[in-house]
């Protein structure tokens, strides 16, 4: 979760993230409650909890016994704690240490918008989840990727990545632009799940298409999102690089819809 330390730096940036996530929360909260078997009296963990908006939405629908929010970014944890208020345990820590951060059993763990990009010690995280889950307890994590079934989308982000690297050379910056999961990476994640001792119950994929303008908006709306991508520059310079990279890419490839894939993995502890 190292990159999350730089995701938000102040309350204003927390509010920007919160506003940006509104549609995501509204779209998936009922799905998570159902698939996560979240019921009254259960103990729930949200890691990385982000601004706490999903946790808040869940607690407004289900009277859980305890909600544990964990994030490596203290500003996120503070925001989540303020939103839930009752029966909340807030912890600042790394997802790879989850097996040691919590010394009691839990019923459901949700890990949203974090597993692929922000959790560096994925095997430790999965084994830690297996350790603290009750029997029949569930872990749900989602993977956001692009172009699993669309060649244009794959070419678009390959080209944009090269353009960002080229534009960043002007500032002597080494870029760390994210790699979106492909079939090979997803296969490796399934192996990690098997090795952790957890059972993969189901995979649910949701596919949507966005315009190039929406891609630009997604990339620049949250100031902290691009900090680890193009480190060492201020928000305006990072924004200009991303904007130019998209313009150069569309000049080469034309403007078509971009395929977004969100895959939820539903896991269960069987013993």
Give the phi and the psi of residue 160 in degrees, each rounded to 5: -60, -40
Distances (CA, A) of 162 to 40, 187, 240, 246, 249: 49, 26, 15, 11, 9
- Overall pTM surpassing 0.85 (yes/no): yes
- Inform me whether the pLDDT recorded for 5 exceeds 70: no
Question: Bridge partners of 46?
Answer: 69, 110
- As assigned by CATH, the class of the 2-268 domain is alpha beta
65 touches 41 (CB < 8 A): yes
Mean pLDDT of 152-173: 94
- pLDDT tens sequence across 60-90: 999 999 999 999 989 889 989 998 878 999 9
215 touches 247 (CB < 8 A): no
- pLDDT tens sequence across 207-265: 999 998 888 888 888 877 788 888 889 999 999 999 999 999 999 999 999 999 999 99
Q: Going edge to edge, which strands form the sheet with 66-71?
A: 88-92, 66-71, 43-46, 106-111, 133-146, 258-268, 199-210
> Domain coordinates of the chain in residue numbers?
2-268
Identify the pLDDT of residue 1.
42
- Inform me whether the pLDDT recorded for 108 exceeds 70: yes
């Amino acid at each position: 979760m190292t990159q999350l330390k730089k995701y938000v730096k102040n309350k204003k940036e927390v509010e920007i993230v919160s506003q940006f996530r509104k549609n995501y929360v509204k779209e998936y909260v009922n799905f998570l409650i159902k698939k996560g078997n979240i019921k009254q009296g259960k103990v729930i963990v949200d890691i990385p909890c982000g601004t706490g908006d999903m946790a808040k939405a869940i607690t407004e629908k289900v009277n859980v016994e305890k909600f544990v929010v964990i994030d490596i970014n203290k500003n996120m944890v503070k925001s989540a704690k303020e939103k839930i208020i009752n029966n909340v345990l807030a912890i600042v820590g790394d997802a790879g240490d989850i097996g040691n951060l919590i010394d009691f059993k839990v019923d459901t763990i949700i890990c949203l918008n974090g597993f692929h990009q922000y959790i560096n010690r994925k095997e430790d995280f999965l084994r830690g989840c297996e350790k603290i889950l009750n029997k029949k307890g569930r872990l749900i994590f989602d993977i956001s990727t692009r172009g699993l079934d669309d060649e244009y989308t794959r070419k678009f982000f390959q080209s944009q990545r090269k353009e960002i690297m080229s534009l960043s050379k002007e500032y002597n910056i080494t870029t760390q632009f994210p790699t979106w999961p492909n079939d090979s990476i997803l296969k490796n994640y399934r192996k990690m799940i098997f090795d952790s001792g957890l059972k993969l119950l189901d995979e649910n994929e949701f596919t949507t298409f966005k315009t190039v303008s929406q891609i630009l908006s997604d990339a620049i709306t949250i100031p902290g999102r691009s900090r680890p991508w193009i480190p060492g520059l201020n928000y305006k310079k990072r924004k200009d690089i991303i904007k130019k990279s998209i313009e150069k890419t569309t000049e080469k490839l034309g403007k078509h819809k971009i395929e977004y894939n969100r895959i939820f993995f539903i896991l269960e502890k069987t013993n």
